[in-house]
Structure formats: structure tokens, C-alpha cells
Structure 1
Amino acid sequence: MNTSHQSSPPSSPSLSQPPNSAWIPWLLVMVLFSALVAACVGFLKALDGTPVSGALLAAGAAFGGTALLCLAVVPVVQQLRQRG
């Protein structure tokens, strides 16, 4: 009688859930904040009399700049937490 016990390999905990799953809400906050800044910039440019294409271009630049700034703050905060 040949009984082989095949067990599945242990699942890695990092595959099921990342160690720090709090980054998803923060990413959502960053995107929403960037969208708010972009909407404000686009609205102000439209009030100034800028054509729609110019207002959309300014809003896109504001969104990209704000998103990059928010994403750049994350490593800085992590470094400051490790120091203290």
C-alpha cells in the first residue's frame, strides 16, 4: 500500500495580505486631494477667462504636481519615523 502524503506548500503571508495594508486608504486620500486641487485650479482658470483647453491643461498639471508631491512625502515620513 503506497500512501503518499502530499501537502500543499505553506502559503506566504505576504501574498495573502500585505504587511501594512493601511496604504490603500492613504492612496485614496492622496488621489482625492489631488483631484480637489485640480478642480480648484481648473475653476479659477475658467473664471479668469482662460479657454477650456487651457483650464484643463492647468488642472492636469495641478493634479500631477499634487500627486507627485503627496507620493514624495511618504518616504520622508517613513525616514522620520525610523529616526525617532
Structure 2
Amino acid sequence: MTDAMRAVFVELLVHGPLSRAEVARRLDLSPSALTKVAKPLLDAGYLREQSSDGQRASAGPHSRCRWTRPGRRSSGSS
């Protein structure tokens, strides 16, 4: 795991579900750099993307989604 991957993972563990834009802002990464860093974590199942209504979202640098740890429910899901 690279330092950048670790930083993304820790940011989400500490601060809970965040949008791609918020993670990139907090870590001073460009959207494309964040996508490159997060892809292996998404592929391995360590992270997943969800829309604001709790449904699984399609990945993309401009998607409006929340990232959560697997097994963690977003505040809007039942």
C-alpha cells in the first residue's frame, strides 16, 4: 500500500463517508490523482462508492457519491 493509498484510507476511517471532492481537498490531491490512488482500494473491496441515497454508485471522477468502508452504512440507509 502506498503512502497516498494509506492517507485516503485513514481519512475515511477517521472522518467517515466523504465525497470524492472532499477527500481530494483534504489530501491536496487532484481529482485524477485521487481516482488513481483509490482504484486499487475500490477494486480490492476496501472502499465502495455510494450515492447519497445509499445505493451503489458508478465510479467516475465527477460522480457525486459518498465513500464508505465496506460494511458501514451511510446515515441515510436503513
Q: Is TM (by shorter chain) over 0.5?
A: no
Comparing both structures, which one devotes a greater share of its residues to helix? 1
Which one scores higher on RCO, CA 8 angstroms, separation ≥ 6?
2
TM-score of the two chains, using structure 2 as the length reference = 0.23
Please identify which structure carries the higher strand content: 2
Structure with max Cα Rg: 1
TM-score w.r.t. the length of structure 1 is 0.22
